[in-house]
Amino acid sequence: MRGIICGDNLSVMAGFAILLVEGINKIYQRVHSINFGIYGATQAGKTTMNHQLRTRGEVPDVKVRTIGLHKASRKYIKLDGDAHTVKTADIGGQTVYWNDWLNDMRNRRVKYVIFLMDDRHMDKHYDIEQQLCWTYLIDTICATEWNINGKRKKKKENDYPIAVGLWANKFDLWKDKYEHEGPIEKHPIFESFRDGMQRLNDKGIPCHKYIVSAKSDSEMVYRGILTMIKDY
């Protein structure tokens, strides 16, 4: 009888310990924020994505271009029982603000980078703004030194991102415009960015290809963020 009682007590204690650990993990996920950097050409949807992360489903029409670098803020995202707090900043996409991307990555030690783009390079082949943005970003990530206003400082191991996401935004607007069969990761929308992806892989930084509709489909946004955290 005493053995049975002891066994019951151990089971209760084990169950309590599991609940305690789960509770601590949930508190940690809410308190600890993971730094994401969202970059891309102007009007690619960066501000819209920040709105979607902040107030899910409540995304205003963005009619003006983002100017400069806005202070990073925390967003608690939850989907299918998985939840994390992420921290992102809204930064302009014009050439004059590209250096702000670098400062943001360095100052916040961004762990996950998302390069947001749309189909403009396919719709108008002469429009190479996004490819230029991508090349600058890859150069910045793969460099062994930070170059801040002409001052160079060697990067540390934890200055490099864990993974980079190449996200094709506005899927709801372009999905029927281009013929494609097979997995979405093979879609020709990613082809112009292949060299940069190869450079990341050579550097040991995985590149996560993804399609998203930042304005109209919050689940796609949340699932993409949580997948990057889980897989990398």
**What's the CA angle centered on 129, arms 124 and 135, to 5 degrees?**
130
Same domain, 93 and 21: no
Same domain, 102 and 167: yes
Is the separation of the CB atoms in 167 and 190 below 8 Å? no
Question: What's the pLDDT tens digit per position in 89-125?
Answer: 999 999 999 999 999 999 999 999 999 999 999 988 7
Measure the CA–CA gap between 69 and 143, rounded to whole angstroms.
22
Same domain, 145 and 195: yes
Question: What's the pLDDT tens digit per position in 3-45?
Answer: 555 556 655 655 555 554 444 444 544 557 999 999 999 999 9
Same domain, 4 and 103: no
Same domain, 107 and 218: yes
Residue ranges with strand state E in the chain: 33-39, 73-79, 82-88, 112-117, 145-148, 151-154, 163-168, 207-211
What is the bridge-based pairing of β-strands 207-211 and 163-168?
Answer: parallel
Q: At 68, list the tokens.
A: 């400069």
Q: Which residues contact 113 (CB under 8 A, 6 or more apart)?
A: 36, 37, 39, 105, 137, 141, 161, 163, 164, 165
Q: Which H or E element spans position 123?
A: helix 120-123
pTM of the predicted model, to two decimals?
0.85
- For 102, the domain range is 34-231
Same domain, 102 and 130: yes
Question: What's the pLDDT tens digit per position in 121-168?
Answer: 998 877 899 999 999 999 999 999 998 778 899 999 999 999 999 999
Tally of domains in the chain: 2
Same domain, 17 and 43: no
Measure the CA–CA gap between 35 and 37, rounded to whole angstroms.
7
Q: Which residues contact 177 (CB under 8 A, 6 or more apart)?
A: 119, 122, 123
Cross-strand bridge partners of residue 227:
none
Q: At 122, list the tokens.
A: 């396919």
